[in-house]
Amino acid sequence: MEDISVLICDDSALMRNLIGRIIDGTPGMKVVGKAMNGQFAVEKVPLLKPDVMVLDIEMPVMNGIEFLKKRKEMKWDFPVIILSSVATEGAAVTMQALELGAADFLTKPNGSTSADLSSVADRLTELLSSYGCQYARRHGRDVYPPEFFHQQAKMRRAEQLVVEKKGGDFLKGSSTASSPLLNRTTTPSLTERSSISSISNTARPVLDTKKPSFTWTPPAKKDPVTITPMRQGGRIEIIAIGISTGGPNALREVFRDLDPKIKQPILVVQHMPAGFTTEFANSLNRICPLQVQEANDGDVLKAGNIYIAPGNYHIFVEKRGFNYVVRLSQAEQRNGHRPSADVLFESVAKEFQNRALGVIMTGMGRDGAAEITEMRKQGAWTLGQDEASSVVYGMPKVAWEMGGVQKQVPLREMAANINKMAIEHANA
């Protein structure tokens, strides 16, 4: 197996070093180069030919937005993951980056605690492995699938829980010399020395460049369970979509081609942090013939409107009088997520039974799989994204194996399938 190759572009030597150690400490992945701004990255791309790139937004000489414009001009197609602190304060800039072709994003941690660094490391690894694997395989390279890296993360979290139960700190316990912020080949700046001092006195993340041994066996493929619905599919009165990793650009492709004649309200769970979904909805609204908005608690569902679940809130539907309304909740996470596709699908199955269309698309894990299966049992119509077009064939795979998906379709045909079903089954 070959390693997924990663190019890092960040103006901070501290961050380049930290990100590099996360990547080089992950079996199946390697850093092929680093750049301190977008101009250096432009010069390195033709030589290094990365599978995926980590890109900061705020940089001198050429910033991240300017690099993405140059990437588009050069017709480079490798995926770019935005990792930036400006993403939190400037959601509009982050959405601009996605519109210019960035694949996904995450924010740099505000603090320097071990929990912050661990969280970023796991999410960064997930994004790099998911997008990098898809790109590398599309170009004929033999690399590990996203599940390989997902299993590593699960093992790390399990190990962390064991250590914490014994009263220890999973990311402490190493000497100062082993800290990725201290074990450097360049002299840190005054600001970086201050950061290093605070981290060495609190949390010392162990992100060793020596790759640990890791044994992984690919999961066996399962034939889908046969489900006999309780009732035949009826008139479609609502459409519910669950999606995760790979979702921002997948939704752009689907929403761009939706038919303006669609009359059903559409509710969407896209796993995304708080503070971004308003701008995300606005960016989708600019390209979609239907009205797209971030959902508010109590919104009456309107025909042909699309409601995006706010970050950090579950979304579900509830009947109130003669109308159906959006409800939001900050109840506990489901399947590790809030919003959770399972929460949305569960409410649709309960309120609409066979009068609904459920769609489950690219994403890591199994969120949405159990409850879209329940929707199918109730007689609802269901679609799932196919393996070849999914950035991560996790959520739709589990749903397919559970019998919850009637038909698997590639991303390029998803909008056409939704249009056809929504219009044909608008009336009983």
Among all residues, which ones are annotated catalytic?
244, 271, 367
Distance CA 137, CA 284 (A): 29
Using alpha carbons, list the distances in angstroms from residue 221 to 149, 218, 320, 368. 18, 9, 43, 19
Using alpha carbons, list the distances in angstroms from residue 17 to 37, 141, 373, 415. 15, 27, 44, 42
Give exposure, 369-384, as e/b (b: 16+ Cβ within 10 Å). bbbbbbbbbbbbbbbb
Contact yes or no for 405/384 (Cβ under 8 A): yes
Using alpha carbons, list the distances in angstroms from residue 93 to 89, 281, 291, 309. 9, 14, 22, 20
Tokens 């971030």: give the residue.
294
**CA angle in degrees (0–180, nearest 5) for 34-96-248:** 90
> 77: exposed, middle or buried (C-beta count within 10 Å: 0-12, 13-18, 19+)?
exposed
Tokens of 348: 């649709």
Tokens of 415: 């909008």
The bridge status of strand 52-55 relative to strand 305-308 is unpaired
Count of C-beta atoms within a 10 Å radius of residue 324: 20
Tokens of 138: 């599309």
Written in H, E and C, the secondary structure of 338-389 is CCCHHHHHHHHHHHHCCCEEEEECCECCCCCHHHHHHHHHHCCEEEEECCCC
Query: Which are the contacts of 78, defined by CB distance < 8 A and separation ≥ 6?
Result: 45, 49, 50, 51, 52, 53, 135
Tokens of 47: 């030589």
Distance CA 368, CA 110 (A): 30
Nearest C-alpha neighbor of 154 from the set 179, 189, 122, 183: 122
Residue type, 399: A
